Amino acid sequence: MNKSLGAIRKENLDYLVDYQYGNQTMLASRLNYDGISQTTISDILRSKRSFHDFEARAFETNLVLPHLWMDKNSWLSSGWNLVEAYRLLNTEQQGVFNNLATFVEKQSTNT
């Protein structure tokens, strides 16, 4: 059974809280994005509100995650080492990667 986009984003957010930043407050602090606080993160994780596209993209940009990372469920099981490698790239290289990710995503939805 395929997971919904909301369920995937929630799972990825939970991973960031539990395994990368330790708690919701630390994640919100590191995110440093106006409008997303610890309370917002808690509400998303408790399914009290949706996790919007612009918020998912803000997580990726501000936490230096590859474009569309929040929308994919395969990164957690086998791809975190690639996220770490992505973070070592310069801004131009990250841009190329992000453009490629967007291109592949569009191609896969058109088939």
pLDDT confidence of residue 2: 83
How much is the pTM? 0.85
For 67, list phi and psi in degrees, rounded to 5.
-55, 135
- What is the reported pLDDT for 29? 97
Domain count, the chain: 1
Distance of CA 19 to the CA centre of its chain: 13
Element (H, E) at 100: helix 91-109
pLDDT value for 75? 67
pLDDT tens, position by position, for the chain (111 residues)?
Answer: 688 999 999 999 999 999 999 999 999 999 999 999 999 999 999 999 999 999 999 999 999 999 999 998 876 656 788 889 999 999 999 999 999 988 988 888 776
- pLDDT at position 108: 83
Domain that holds residue 36: 5-109
Give pLDDT, residue 111: 63
Q: For residues 18-53, b (16+ Cβ closer than 10 Å) or e, as one string?
A: eeebeebeebbeebebeebebebbeebbeeeeebee
Q: Given this model, what pLDDT does residue 77 score? A: 59
Distance (Å, rounded) from C-alpha 5 to C-alpha 109?
14
